[in-house]
Structures are given as C-alpha cells and as structure tokens.
Amino acid sequence: MLVTSTKEAFTVTVCSTFLNKILGLMFSKKPSNDGLLFIFDKEVSVSLHMFFVFFPIDIVYLNANKKILEIKKNVHPFTPYIQGPAAKYLLELKDARTLTVGDHLRF
C-alpha cells in the first residue's frame, strides 16, 4: 500500500490480521519496503516493544483523520516498552524521513 504526505511517499505492508498485528516486525529482517501500517477499529492506546526486532525503526501515530500525533524516532532493538498516544493508525517505518507532527497522510 502507498502512504503519502505532501513531501514523502512510503510503500508499506498492511497488518490486518490479529497475528500480523502481534508479530509486527519481530523475527524479521529489514523489510524490503518502507515498513508496516497497522489499522485499528477505533483510536486505541497502543503499547509496543522491540523484542526480537533486530534493527531500529521510527514509529508514527495517527488519529482517525490520518493526522500525525507523534513520531518516535530511532527506536532501538529490544526496547522493552514504548507508549504513545491513542491512535487509529500506526506506522512502523525504517525511516520516517521528513514527516513531522501535524502532517496529514493519505492511503
């Protein structure tokens, strides 16, 4: 799936099943595309960990309007707990590049 802002375009894999959402990037090599997109039924508080993720990532939290609420840059492998704001969408990216809080994304 293509995710775009006014400045960037990212090719991501959508995590739509329960198992995909639980596993995320665990036990994987760096993705060949830019990362993963998680879509939730409603805005939820999501806590993450980086156990068994072997490379740093950027985590982007979006509200129901696809507006970026928060970006956690360069989250290191094996970080035990990552808490962000309630989000409807979450991106795990190899590099969020020029994305900034307040940007609106399209997908």
- Report pLDDT for 13: 95
What residue has token string 């696809």?
A: 66
Both tokens of 84, joined, read 């962000």
Domain ranges of the chain: 2-93
- Inter-CA distances, 48 with 5, 23, 98, 101, Å: 24, 11, 23, 19
Residues whose CB is less than 8 angstroms from the CB of residue 56 and which lie 6 or more positions away in sequence, other chains included: 74, 75, 76, 77
Please give the model's pTM, rounded to 2 decimal places: 0.92
For domain 2-93, the CATH superfamily is Protein of unknown function DUF192 (2.60.120.1140)
pLDDT tens-place string over residues 13-28:
999 888 888 888 887 8
